[in-house]
Each structure stands twice: as structure tokens, then as C-alpha cells.
Amino acid sequence: MKDVHVISLIAFIYAIIVSLIAFIFFNQYDYPLWTVLGSAVALFNHSLMIQLTKKMTTQRLVTHLIQRYVFYALIIVYVYLQTKDLGTTIMINSFIFLLIGIFSIKVGILIYHTPIIKKPVVHKEEEHE
């Protein structure tokens, strides 16, 4: 269970770094907001999944999956409604930054499983005599 919390922490740090990069290098000030919104929803869904694994039932799993995709659909609709009048380029960039934020958990998992952070487990082979 400790591994799951470390992944959340790495994803949170990644979201902060990407938001700062979006704030520094892009003139549009909404891009960091979309990155933070995407990563916040991803981290919230991840924390719900952690709670689900403590007491898993089929009904809770189905409810969580439906809830997860409803959250993602809601933020996609929200970003669309906020950016539809600003032009196609800003809308596309907003969705890209939203997806970068949503992928924060996936990036956290990838970073966690690198040999720098997680030491590989060495199995001793039994000697056959």
C-alpha cells in the first residue's frame, strides 16, 4: 500500500512541475489551470481506487468505474464550454494540457518503476544438487 501513496506523491510533483512549465513558457494563463484540473481529477480518482481496494466488491468496482469516466467526461465538457469561443488553437492546446494533467498518475507509475526510485528485486535461485 505504501507504493500506491508514493505513486500519488510522484504524480503530484509531476503535476506541479508541468503546471509551472505551462505557466512560464506559454502566454495563455489558462493552460496551467487545465493541467491542474486534469491532474486533480486523476489524483482524486486514484485516491478513490485506493479506498476501493481495501474492501472490493463487484458493485463498488462498477460504481467506481462509472464515476471515474463521468468525472473525466465532465471536465472535458467543462473545458470545451470554457474554450469554444476562444478559437481552435487555444481549444486544442487546452485539451492537450488537460490530457497532460490526466496522465499524471500514469507518469507517476512510470517514474516509480524506474530503477532509480524502485530497486529491482533480486531473487536467489535455488541450487539444484
pLDDT (tens place) for every residue of the chain, 129 residues total: 567 778 888 888 888 898 888 888 887 678 888 888 888 898 888 888 888 777 878 888 888 889 889 999 999 999 999 888 888 888 888 899 889 888 888 888 888 887 776 666 666 665 454
pLDDT of residue 73: 93
How many angstroms separate the CA atoms of 122 and 100, rounded? Answer: 34
- Rg for the chain (alpha carbons), in Å? 19
pLDDT of residue 118: 66
- Is the CB of residue 7 less than 8 Å from the CB of residue 118? no
pLDDT of residue 90: 85
